[in-house]
Structure 1
Amino acid sequence: MNIEAIKSIYVYEMARTRRTLLQSIVSPVLSTALYFVVFGAAVGSRMEAIDGVSYGGFITPGLIMLALVTQCVSNGSAGIYFPKFTGTIYEILSAPVAFTEIVIGYVGAAATKGMIVGLIILATAAVFVDLHILHPVMMLLFMVLTSVTFSLAGFLIGIYAKNFEQLSLVPSLVIPPLTFLGGTFYSIEMLPPFWQAVSHLNPVLYLVSGFRWSFFGTSDVDPTISLVMIGAFMLLLLGVLSWIFKTGYKLRP
Protein backbone atom coordinates (compact mmCIF):
# COMPACT_ATOMS: atom_id res chain seq x y z
CA MET A 1 0.00 0.00 0.00
CA ASN A 2 1.45 3.33 -1.13
CA ILE A 3 0.64 5.47 1.91
CA GLU A 4 2.39 8.53 0.48
CA ALA A 5 0.19 8.46 -2.63
CA ILE A 6 -2.97 8.22 -0.54
CA LYS A 7 -1.75 11.01 1.73
CA SER A 8 -0.90 13.28 -1.21
CA ILE A 9 -4.34 12.91 -2.82
CA TYR A 10 -6.12 13.24 0.53
CA VAL A 11 -4.21 16.35 1.64
CA TYR A 12 -4.68 18.03 -1.75
CA GLU A 13 -8.44 17.44 -1.66
CA MET A 14 -8.75 18.67 1.91
CA ALA A 15 -6.75 21.79 0.99
CA ARG A 16 -9.34 22.49 -1.71
CA THR A 17 -11.97 22.61 1.03
CA ARG A 18 -10.06 25.33 2.87
CA ARG A 19 -9.97 27.39 -0.32
CA THR A 20 -13.76 27.06 -0.76
CA LEU A 21 -14.78 27.20 2.90
CA LEU A 22 -17.97 29.21 2.33
CA GLN A 23 -19.25 26.83 -0.32
CA SER A 24 -18.06 23.60 1.30
CA ILE A 25 -18.92 24.16 4.97
CA VAL A 26 -20.72 27.42 5.73
CA SER A 27 -23.39 27.24 3.00
CA PRO A 28 -24.79 23.74 3.79
CA VAL A 29 -24.73 24.43 7.54
CA LEU A 30 -26.65 27.70 7.17
CA SER A 31 -29.15 26.12 4.76
CA THR A 32 -29.87 23.27 7.16
CA ALA A 33 -30.06 25.67 10.12
CA LEU A 34 -32.96 27.40 8.34
CA TYR A 35 -34.83 24.09 8.30
CA PHE A 36 -34.37 23.83 12.07
CA VAL A 37 -35.63 27.38 12.57
CA VAL A 38 -38.70 26.95 10.34
CA PHE A 39 -39.67 23.31 10.89
CA GLY A 40 -38.08 22.65 14.26
CA ALA A 41 -38.88 25.81 16.21
CA ALA A 42 -41.76 27.51 14.36
CA VAL A 43 -43.79 24.66 12.83
CA GLY A 44 -42.60 21.91 15.17
CA SER A 45 -43.88 23.68 18.29
CA ARG A 46 -47.42 23.41 16.86
CA MET A 47 -47.25 19.73 15.88
CA GLU A 48 -47.82 16.59 17.90
CA ALA A 49 -44.96 14.32 18.87
CA ILE A 50 -44.21 11.36 16.59
CA ASP A 51 -43.50 8.08 18.43
CA GLY A 52 -42.93 10.12 21.56
CA VAL A 53 -40.35 12.36 19.86
CA SER A 54 -40.87 16.09 19.34
CA TYR A 55 -41.28 17.04 15.69
CA GLY A 56 -38.11 19.15 15.73
CA GLY A 57 -36.11 16.21 17.08
CA PHE A 58 -37.82 13.76 14.71
CA ILE A 59 -36.71 15.59 11.57
CA THR A 60 -33.14 16.20 12.78
CA PRO A 61 -31.63 12.86 11.63
CA GLY A 62 -33.21 13.24 8.19
CA LEU A 63 -31.89 16.78 7.75
CA ILE A 64 -28.40 15.69 8.79
CA MET A 65 -28.59 12.83 6.29
CA LEU A 66 -29.75 15.21 3.54
CA ALA A 67 -26.71 17.47 4.07
CA LEU A 68 -24.35 14.52 4.54
CA VAL A 69 -25.41 12.68 1.39
CA THR A 70 -25.49 15.83 -0.75
CA GLN A 71 -22.05 16.96 0.35
CA CYS A 72 -20.47 13.52 -0.06
CA VAL A 73 -21.84 13.10 -3.58
CA SER A 74 -20.82 16.64 -4.57
CA ASN A 75 -17.31 16.38 -3.13
CA GLY A 76 -16.76 12.87 -4.44
CA SER A 77 -17.81 13.79 -7.97
CA ALA A 78 -15.89 17.08 -8.10
CA GLY A 79 -12.72 15.45 -6.77
CA ILE A 80 -12.31 13.15 -9.78
CA TYR A 81 -14.08 15.28 -12.40
CA PHE A 82 -11.66 18.21 -12.28
CA PRO A 83 -8.56 16.04 -12.91
CA LYS A 84 -10.47 14.62 -15.90
CA PHE A 85 -11.44 18.12 -17.03
CA THR A 86 -7.88 19.47 -16.81
CA GLY A 87 -6.20 16.28 -18.07
CA THR A 88 -4.16 15.65 -14.92
CA ILE A 89 -5.99 12.35 -14.45
CA TYR A 90 -3.56 10.80 -16.95
CA GLU A 91 -0.63 11.67 -14.69
CA ILE A 92 -2.35 9.87 -11.81
CA LEU A 93 -3.20 6.83 -13.94
CA SER A 94 0.35 6.58 -15.29
CA ALA A 95 1.92 6.91 -11.83
CA PRO A 96 2.76 3.81 -9.77
CA VAL A 97 -0.48 4.19 -7.81
CA ALA A 98 -3.00 1.36 -7.48
CA PHE A 99 -6.73 1.68 -8.05
CA THR A 100 -7.40 1.16 -4.35
CA GLU A 101 -5.01 3.96 -3.38
CA ILE A 102 -6.64 6.44 -5.77
CA VAL A 103 -10.11 5.58 -4.47
CA ILE A 104 -9.05 5.71 -0.80
CA GLY A 105 -7.46 9.15 -1.31
CA TYR A 106 -10.35 10.80 -3.16
CA VAL A 107 -13.22 9.02 -1.41
CA GLY A 108 -11.59 9.38 2.00
CA ALA A 109 -11.32 13.15 1.54
CA ALA A 110 -14.93 13.45 0.30
CA ALA A 111 -16.21 11.35 3.21
CA THR A 112 -14.20 13.43 5.70
CA LYS A 113 -15.70 16.66 4.35
CA GLY A 114 -19.19 15.18 4.59
CA MET A 115 -18.57 14.03 8.18
CA ILE A 116 -17.35 17.50 9.15
CA VAL A 117 -20.50 19.09 7.75
CA GLY A 118 -22.69 16.43 9.38
CA LEU A 119 -21.14 16.88 12.82
CA ILE A 120 -21.35 20.69 12.61
CA ILE A 121 -25.04 20.40 11.68
CA LEU A 122 -25.57 17.99 14.57
CA ALA A 123 -24.07 20.55 16.96
CA THR A 124 -26.21 23.28 15.36
CA ALA A 125 -29.36 21.17 15.78
CA ALA A 126 -28.74 20.92 19.53
CA VAL A 127 -29.22 24.70 19.73
CA PHE A 128 -32.74 24.53 18.26
CA VAL A 129 -34.12 21.15 19.41
CA ASP A 130 -33.75 18.84 22.40
CA LEU A 131 -31.56 15.93 21.27
CA HIS A 132 -30.77 12.67 23.04
CA ILE A 133 -28.53 10.15 21.30
CA LEU A 134 -29.33 6.68 22.65
CA HIS A 135 -26.75 4.84 20.56
CA PRO A 136 -23.80 7.19 19.82
CA VAL A 137 -21.56 4.41 18.47
CA MET A 138 -24.24 3.31 16.00
CA MET A 139 -24.86 6.94 15.06
CA LEU A 140 -21.19 7.36 14.12
CA LEU A 141 -21.23 4.01 12.29
CA PHE A 142 -24.21 5.08 10.19
CA MET A 143 -22.53 8.43 9.45
CA VAL A 144 -19.24 6.82 8.41
CA LEU A 145 -20.88 4.14 6.23
CA THR A 146 -23.18 6.69 4.59
CA SER A 147 -20.32 9.12 3.99
CA VAL A 148 -18.10 6.48 2.38
CA THR A 149 -20.92 4.94 0.33
CA PHE A 150 -22.17 8.20 -1.17
CA SER A 151 -18.65 9.49 -1.69
CA LEU A 152 -18.13 6.36 -3.80
CA ALA A 153 -21.38 7.16 -5.63
CA GLY A 154 -20.15 10.71 -6.23
CA PHE A 155 -16.82 9.37 -7.47
CA LEU A 156 -18.70 7.28 -10.05
CA ILE A 157 -20.75 10.30 -11.11
CA GLY A 158 -17.57 12.33 -11.55
CA ILE A 159 -16.09 9.64 -13.78
CA TYR A 160 -19.22 9.39 -15.90
CA ALA A 161 -20.02 13.13 -16.17
CA LYS A 162 -19.18 14.80 -19.48
CA ASN A 163 -19.89 18.37 -18.35
CA PHE A 164 -20.74 20.46 -15.31
CA GLU A 165 -24.48 20.03 -15.88
CA GLN A 166 -24.23 16.25 -15.53
CA LEU A 167 -21.96 16.72 -12.53
CA SER A 168 -24.62 18.65 -10.59
CA LEU A 169 -27.64 16.68 -11.82
CA VAL A 170 -27.76 14.02 -9.09
CA PRO A 171 -26.93 16.27 -6.07
CA SER A 172 -29.51 18.87 -7.08
CA LEU A 173 -32.33 16.92 -8.74
CA VAL A 174 -32.17 13.34 -7.43
CA ILE A 175 -30.96 13.32 -3.82
CA PRO A 176 -33.27 16.02 -2.32
CA PRO A 177 -36.52 14.38 -3.57
CA LEU A 178 -35.36 10.94 -2.41
CA THR A 179 -34.47 12.35 1.00
CA PHE A 180 -37.70 14.30 1.43
CA LEU A 181 -39.74 11.24 0.37
CA GLY A 182 -37.63 8.93 2.53
CA GLY A 183 -39.28 9.79 5.83
CA THR A 184 -37.35 12.92 6.70
CA PHE A 185 -40.42 14.95 7.68
CA TYR A 186 -42.82 12.10 8.54
CA SER A 187 -43.05 8.47 9.53
CA ILE A 188 -44.05 6.20 6.65
CA GLU A 189 -46.53 4.58 9.04
CA MET A 190 -48.66 7.68 8.42
CA LEU A 191 -49.02 6.66 4.76
CA PRO A 192 -51.59 4.26 3.24
CA PRO A 193 -50.32 0.64 2.83
CA PHE A 194 -49.65 1.05 -0.90
CA TRP A 195 -47.44 4.10 -0.43
CA GLN A 196 -45.66 2.45 2.49
CA ALA A 197 -44.68 -0.36 0.10
CA VAL A 198 -43.54 2.17 -2.51
CA SER A 199 -41.48 4.01 0.12
CA HIS A 200 -39.50 0.82 0.79
CA LEU A 201 -38.14 1.08 -2.76
CA ASN A 202 -36.45 4.36 -1.79
CA PRO A 203 -32.88 3.58 -0.64
CA VAL A 204 -32.66 6.79 1.39
CA LEU A 205 -35.48 5.54 3.65
CA TYR A 206 -33.09 2.96 5.11
CA LEU A 207 -30.43 5.60 5.81
CA VAL A 208 -32.81 8.02 7.52
CA SER A 209 -34.63 5.30 9.44
CA GLY A 210 -31.46 3.64 10.75
CA PHE A 211 -29.91 6.97 11.64
CA ARG A 212 -33.09 8.06 13.48
CA TRP A 213 -33.03 4.80 15.45
CA SER A 214 -29.54 5.61 16.73
CA PHE A 215 -30.97 8.84 18.21
CA PHE A 216 -34.35 7.83 19.59
CA GLY A 217 -34.62 4.05 19.39
CA THR A 218 -37.53 4.31 16.96
CA SER A 219 -37.49 3.61 13.22
CA ASP A 220 -39.63 2.65 10.24
CA VAL A 221 -37.20 -0.10 9.24
CA ASP A 222 -35.20 -2.56 11.33
CA PRO A 223 -31.74 -0.94 11.84
CA THR A 224 -30.06 -4.24 10.96
CA ILE A 225 -31.74 -4.17 7.56
CA SER A 226 -30.59 -0.56 7.16
CA LEU A 227 -26.96 -1.56 7.79
CA VAL A 228 -27.24 -4.49 5.36
CA MET A 229 -28.67 -2.22 2.66
CA ILE A 230 -25.88 0.35 3.09
CA GLY A 231 -23.24 -2.39 3.05
CA ALA A 232 -24.69 -4.00 -0.08
CA PHE A 233 -24.83 -0.65 -1.89
CA MET A 234 -21.21 0.05 -0.94
CA LEU A 235 -20.03 -3.33 -2.25
CA LEU A 236 -21.93 -2.77 -5.50
CA LEU A 237 -20.25 0.61 -6.01
CA LEU A 238 -16.81 -0.85 -5.25
CA GLY A 239 -17.42 -3.58 -7.82
CA VAL A 240 -18.37 -1.03 -10.50
CA LEU A 241 -15.33 1.14 -9.69
CA SER A 242 -13.03 -1.86 -9.88
CA TRP A 243 -14.37 -2.68 -13.35
CA ILE A 244 -13.95 0.94 -14.48
CA PHE A 245 -10.30 1.10 -13.46
CA LYS A 246 -9.55 -2.27 -15.04
CA THR A 247 -11.16 -1.34 -18.35
CA GLY A 248 -10.37 2.39 -18.35
CA TYR A 249 -14.02 3.20 -19.10
CA LYS A 250 -14.50 7.01 -19.20
CA LEU A 251 -10.93 7.44 -17.96
CA ARG A 252 -8.87 6.76 -21.03
CA PRO A 253 -9.60 8.02 -24.56
Structure 2
Amino acid sequence: MSFNGYGVWAIYRFEMARALRTLWQSLVTPVITTSLYFVVFGGAIGSRMTEVDGVPYGAFIVPGLIMLSLFTQSIFNASFGIYFPKFTGTIYEILSAPVSPLEIVLAYVGAAATKSAVLGLIILATAACFVPLQILHPLWMLAFLILISTTFALFGFIIGIWAQSFEQLQFIPMLIVTPLTFLGGAFYSIEMLPAAWRTVALFNPVVYLISGFRWAFYGVGDVSLGISLTATLGFFFACLLAVGWIFRTGYRLKN
Protein backbone atom coordinates (compact mmCIF):
# COMPACT_ATOMS: atom_id res chain seq x y z
CA MET A 1 0.00 0.00 0.00
CA SER A 2 1.36 3.40 -0.98
CA PHE A 3 1.97 6.11 1.58
CA ASN A 4 -1.28 7.94 2.39
CA GLY A 5 0.03 11.47 2.83
CA TYR A 6 -3.45 12.96 2.74
CA GLY A 7 -4.61 10.75 5.62
CA VAL A 8 -1.55 11.63 7.71
CA TRP A 9 -2.05 15.32 7.00
CA ALA A 10 -5.77 15.15 7.90
CA ILE A 11 -5.10 13.61 11.33
CA TYR A 12 -2.11 15.92 11.92
CA ARG A 13 -4.13 19.00 11.02
CA PHE A 14 -7.01 17.93 13.27
CA GLU A 15 -4.65 17.49 16.24
CA MET A 16 -2.97 20.85 15.62
CA ALA A 17 -6.37 22.54 15.32
CA ARG A 18 -7.29 21.14 18.76
CA ALA A 19 -4.23 22.86 20.22
CA LEU A 20 -5.24 26.17 18.63
CA ARG A 21 -8.70 25.89 20.19
CA THR A 22 -7.04 25.71 23.61
CA LEU A 23 -4.33 28.27 22.89
CA TRP A 24 -4.47 29.78 26.39
CA GLN A 25 -3.90 26.43 28.08
CA SER A 26 -1.38 25.28 25.47
CA LEU A 27 0.91 28.31 25.44
CA VAL A 28 0.09 31.05 27.92
CA THR A 29 -0.17 28.83 31.00
CA PRO A 30 3.32 27.27 30.58
CA VAL A 31 4.79 30.75 30.05
CA ILE A 32 3.25 31.95 33.31
CA THR A 33 4.46 28.80 35.07
CA THR A 34 7.99 29.33 33.74
CA SER A 35 7.96 32.92 34.99
CA LEU A 36 6.93 31.72 38.45
CA TYR A 37 9.77 29.18 38.47
CA PHE A 38 12.23 31.98 37.81
CA VAL A 39 10.72 34.08 40.57
CA VAL A 40 10.90 31.19 43.07
CA PHE A 41 14.05 29.33 42.04
CA GLY A 42 15.96 32.15 40.42
CA GLY A 43 15.13 34.67 43.11
CA ALA A 44 15.11 32.59 46.28
CA ILE A 45 17.79 30.00 45.49
CA GLY A 46 19.77 32.01 42.94
CA SER A 47 20.54 34.69 45.54
CA ARG A 48 22.26 32.04 47.69
CA MET A 49 23.78 29.83 44.96
CA THR A 50 25.20 32.15 42.32
CA GLU A 51 26.84 29.58 40.00
CA VAL A 52 26.73 25.88 39.14
CA ASP A 53 29.59 24.48 37.02
CA GLY A 54 30.58 28.03 36.18
CA VAL A 55 27.10 28.93 34.87
CA PRO A 56 24.88 31.52 36.65
CA TYR A 57 22.16 29.61 38.50
CA GLY A 58 19.30 31.41 36.75
CA ALA A 59 20.70 30.36 33.36
CA PHE A 60 21.65 26.88 34.61
CA ILE A 61 18.02 25.90 35.32
CA VAL A 62 16.72 26.97 31.87
CA PRO A 63 17.38 23.59 30.14
CA GLY A 64 15.77 21.78 33.08
CA LEU A 65 12.69 24.01 32.91
CA ILE A 66 12.34 23.39 29.18
CA MET A 67 12.73 19.64 29.68
CA LEU A 68 10.14 19.60 32.48
CA SER A 69 7.55 21.18 30.17
CA LEU A 70 8.68 19.09 27.20
CA PHE A 71 8.24 15.80 29.04
CA THR A 72 4.81 16.58 30.44
CA GLN A 73 3.38 18.29 27.36
CA SER A 74 4.65 15.66 24.90
CA ILE A 75 3.08 12.90 26.99
CA PHE A 76 -0.17 14.80 27.55
CA ASN A 77 -0.67 15.83 23.91
CA ALA A 78 0.02 12.37 22.49
CA SER A 79 -1.80 10.37 25.17
CA PHE A 80 -4.96 12.50 25.05
CA GLY A 81 -4.84 12.60 21.24
CA ILE A 82 -5.12 8.81 20.91
CA TYR A 83 -7.15 8.19 24.10
CA PHE A 84 -10.03 10.48 23.09
CA PRO A 85 -10.89 8.45 19.94
CA LYS A 86 -10.83 5.32 22.14
CA PHE A 87 -13.12 7.02 24.66
CA THR A 88 -15.63 8.13 21.99
CA GLY A 89 -15.37 4.96 19.90
CA THR A 90 -14.09 6.71 16.78
CA ILE A 91 -10.84 4.75 17.02
CA TYR A 92 -12.51 2.00 14.95
CA GLU A 93 -13.08 4.46 12.11
CA ILE A 94 -9.38 5.33 12.16
CA LEU A 95 -8.31 1.67 12.27
CA SER A 96 -10.61 0.81 9.33
CA ALA A 97 -9.55 3.84 7.28
CA PRO A 98 -6.95 3.40 4.50
CA VAL A 99 -4.08 4.49 6.76
CA SER A 100 -1.40 2.14 8.04
CA PRO A 101 -0.28 1.92 11.69
CA LEU A 102 2.90 3.78 10.72
CA GLU A 103 0.84 6.62 9.23
CA ILE A 104 -1.37 6.80 12.34
CA VAL A 105 1.71 7.04 14.57
CA LEU A 106 3.32 9.63 12.29
CA ALA A 107 0.22 11.83 12.47
CA TYR A 108 -0.51 11.66 16.20
CA VAL A 109 3.10 11.61 17.42
CA GLY A 110 4.16 14.20 14.85
CA ALA A 111 1.45 16.63 15.99
CA ALA A 112 2.27 16.10 19.68
CA ALA A 113 6.01 16.52 19.07
CA THR A 114 5.42 19.68 17.02
CA LYS A 115 3.32 21.28 19.76
CA SER A 116 5.88 20.36 22.43
CA ALA A 117 8.87 21.60 20.42
CA VAL A 118 7.14 24.93 19.73
CA LEU A 119 6.31 25.21 23.43
CA GLY A 120 9.96 24.53 24.28
CA LEU A 121 11.08 27.36 22.02
CA ILE A 122 8.48 29.69 23.58
CA ILE A 123 9.74 28.83 27.07
CA LEU A 124 13.29 29.47 25.84
CA ALA A 125 12.25 32.92 24.62
CA THR A 126 10.49 33.57 27.95
CA ALA A 127 13.63 32.55 29.87
CA ALA A 128 15.69 34.99 27.79
CA CYS A 129 13.61 37.79 29.29
CA PHE A 130 14.85 36.85 32.78
CA VAL A 131 18.45 35.71 32.32
CA PRO A 132 21.18 36.11 29.66
CA LEU A 133 21.32 32.86 27.69
CA GLN A 134 24.20 31.25 25.86
CA ILE A 135 23.70 28.39 23.42
CA LEU A 136 27.12 27.01 22.47
CA HIS A 137 25.77 24.26 20.23
CA PRO A 138 22.44 25.42 18.71
CA LEU A 139 22.18 22.51 16.25
CA TRP A 140 22.63 20.00 19.05
CA MET A 141 20.07 21.92 21.09
CA LEU A 142 17.50 21.66 18.28
CA ALA A 143 18.38 17.99 17.71
CA PHE A 144 17.82 17.12 21.37
CA LEU A 145 14.64 19.23 21.45
CA ILE A 146 13.13 17.39 18.47
CA LEU A 147 14.38 13.94 19.51
CA ILE A 148 13.15 14.23 23.10
CA SER A 149 9.80 15.70 21.99
CA THR A 150 9.29 12.82 19.58
CA THR A 151 10.44 10.19 22.09
CA PHE A 152 8.10 11.34 24.85
CA ALA A 153 5.27 11.80 22.36
CA LEU A 154 5.74 8.11 21.47
CA PHE A 155 5.74 7.32 25.19
CA GLY A 156 2.54 9.34 25.59
CA PHE A 157 0.98 7.50 22.65
CA ILE A 158 1.66 4.21 24.47
CA ILE A 159 0.12 5.59 27.68
CA GLY A 160 -2.95 6.76 25.76
CA ILE A 161 -3.53 3.26 24.40
CA TRP A 162 -2.81 1.61 27.76
CA ALA A 163 -5.06 3.92 29.79
CA GLN A 164 -8.65 2.87 30.39
CA SER A 165 -9.70 6.01 32.26
CA PHE A 166 -8.77 9.66 32.55
CA GLU A 167 -7.24 8.88 35.96
CA GLN A 168 -4.85 6.36 34.41
CA LEU A 169 -4.05 8.90 31.71
CA GLN A 170 -2.63 11.23 34.38
CA PHE A 171 -1.05 8.57 36.58
CA ILE A 172 2.34 8.08 34.89
CA PRO A 173 3.02 11.76 34.00
CA MET A 174 2.10 13.06 37.45
CA LEU A 175 3.41 10.32 39.74
CA ILE A 176 6.41 9.04 37.78
CA VAL A 177 7.72 11.40 35.09
CA THR A 178 7.45 14.68 37.02
CA PRO A 179 9.18 13.35 40.19
CA LEU A 180 11.92 11.76 38.07
CA THR A 181 12.46 15.13 36.37
CA PHE A 182 12.84 16.96 39.68
CA LEU A 183 15.21 14.23 40.88
CA GLY A 184 17.07 14.15 37.56
CA GLY A 185 19.09 17.32 37.87
CA ALA A 186 16.60 19.77 36.38
CA PHE A 187 17.45 22.41 38.99
CA TYR A 188 20.86 21.23 40.18
CA SER A 189 23.88 19.20 39.13
CA ILE A 190 23.97 15.67 40.47
CA GLU A 191 27.65 16.34 41.27
CA MET A 192 26.30 18.38 44.19
CA LEU A 193 24.80 15.23 45.74
CA PRO A 194 26.58 12.94 48.22
CA ALA A 195 28.41 10.06 46.54
CA ALA A 196 25.76 7.46 47.44
CA TRP A 197 22.86 9.55 46.13
CA ARG A 198 24.87 10.44 43.02
CA THR A 199 25.11 6.73 42.24
CA VAL A 200 21.36 6.32 42.76
CA ALA A 201 20.68 9.33 40.50
CA LEU A 202 22.58 7.68 37.63
CA PHE A 203 19.82 5.03 37.50
CA ASN A 204 17.33 7.80 36.68
CA PRO A 205 17.00 7.90 32.85
CA VAL A 206 15.90 11.55 32.93
CA VAL A 207 19.41 12.53 34.13
CA TYR A 208 20.87 11.61 30.74
CA LEU A 209 18.27 13.54 28.75
CA ILE A 210 18.62 16.73 30.78
CA SER A 211 22.42 16.44 30.83
CA GLY A 212 22.66 16.22 27.05
CA PHE A 213 20.30 19.14 26.56
CA ARG A 214 22.22 21.26 29.10
CA TRP A 215 25.50 20.40 27.37
CA ALA A 216 24.10 21.90 24.15
CA PHE A 217 23.66 25.18 26.01
CA TYR A 218 26.78 25.50 28.15
CA GLY A 219 29.13 22.67 27.22
CA VAL A 220 28.75 21.09 30.68
CA GLY A 221 26.73 18.08 31.78
CA ASP A 222 26.49 15.44 34.46
CA VAL A 223 27.43 12.73 31.94
CA SER A 224 29.16 12.80 28.57
CA LEU A 225 27.34 13.75 25.37
CA GLY A 226 27.80 10.27 23.92
CA ILE A 227 26.14 8.59 26.88
CA SER A 228 23.28 11.13 26.87
CA LEU A 229 22.65 10.62 23.16
CA THR A 230 22.83 6.83 23.47
CA ALA A 231 20.34 6.82 26.36
CA THR A 232 17.93 9.11 24.47
CA LEU A 233 18.08 7.02 21.30
CA GLY A 234 17.69 3.85 23.36
CA PHE A 235 14.47 5.16 24.90
CA PHE A 236 13.26 6.28 21.45
CA PHE A 237 13.76 2.84 19.87
CA ALA A 238 12.26 1.09 22.91
CA CYS A 239 9.09 3.18 22.45
CA LEU A 240 9.06 2.37 18.72
CA LEU A 241 9.25 -1.34 19.49
CA ALA A 242 6.43 -1.02 22.02
CA VAL A 243 4.20 0.81 19.52
CA GLY A 244 4.95 -1.80 16.87
CA TRP A 245 3.95 -4.57 19.30
CA ILE A 246 0.70 -2.75 20.15
CA PHE A 247 -0.41 -2.57 16.51
CA ARG A 248 0.75 -6.11 15.79
CA THR A 249 -1.27 -7.57 18.67
CA GLY A 250 -4.12 -5.04 18.76
CA TYR A 251 -3.50 -4.47 22.48
CA ARG A 252 -6.39 -2.37 23.85
CA LEU A 253 -7.20 -1.17 20.36
CA LYS A 254 -9.52 -3.86 19.04
CA ASN A 255 -11.24 -5.03 22.21
One fold, TM greater than 0.5? yes
Match of 1:3 in 2: 5
**Structure 1: how far apart are the matches of 2:175 and 2:28?**
21
**Structure 2: how far apart are the matches of 1:209 and 1:2?**
38
Deviations 1:115-161 (A, max 9, x none): 11100000000011111000000000000010000000000000000
Q: Percent identity?
A: 61
Letter in 2 for 1:223: L
Determine whether 1:120 maps to 2:122.
yes
Match of 1:217 in 2: 219
Match of 1:251 in 2: 253
Letter in 2 for 1:207: L
Match of 2:58 in 1: 56
- The question of whether the paired residues in 2 share the 8 Å contact of 1:40 and 1:129 is answered with no
How far the C-alpha of 1:167 sits from its partner, in A, is 0.5
Secondary structure in 2 aligned to 1:133? coil
**Structure 1: how far apart are the matches of 2:56 and 2:64?**
14
How far the C-alpha of 1:42 sits from its partner, in A, is 4.3
**Matching residue within 225, 228, 233 for 1:226:** 228
Deviations 1:88-110 (A, max 9, x none): 10001011111110000000000
1:1-253 correspondence runs (5 A): 1-253=3-255
How far the C-alpha of 1:28 sits from its partner, in A, is 1.7
- The question of whether the paired residues in 2 share the 8 Å contact of 1:10 and 1:109 is answered with yes
Structure 1 segments (4+ residues) deviating >2 Å: none
**Structure 2: how far apart are the matches of 1:121 and 1:99?**
33
More deviation, 192-201/132-141: 192-201
RMSD: 0.9
How far the C-alpha of 1:45 sits from its partner, in A, is 3.1
**Structure 1: how far apart are the matches of 2:186 and 2:223?**
13
Structure 1 alignment gaps of length 5 or more: none
Structure 2 alignment gaps of length 5 or more: none
Secondary structure in 2 aligned to 1:182? coil
**Structure 2: how far apart are the matches of 1:29 and 1:81?**
26
**Structure 2: how far apart are the matches of 1:112 and 1:54?**
30
Count of residue correspondences: 253
Deviations 1:161-196 (A, max 9, x none): 000000011222222211110011111111122111
Please report the TM-score for the alignment, with normalisation by the length of structure 1.
Answer: 0.98
Specify which structure has the higher proportion of helix.
Answer: 1
**Structure 2: how far apart are the matches of 1:41 and 1:48?**
10
Secondary structure in 1 aligned to 2:183? helix
Letter in 2 for 1:214: A
How far the C-alpha of 1:46 sits from its partner, in A, is 3.1
Please report the TM-score for the alignment, with normalisation by the length of structure 2.
Answer: 0.97
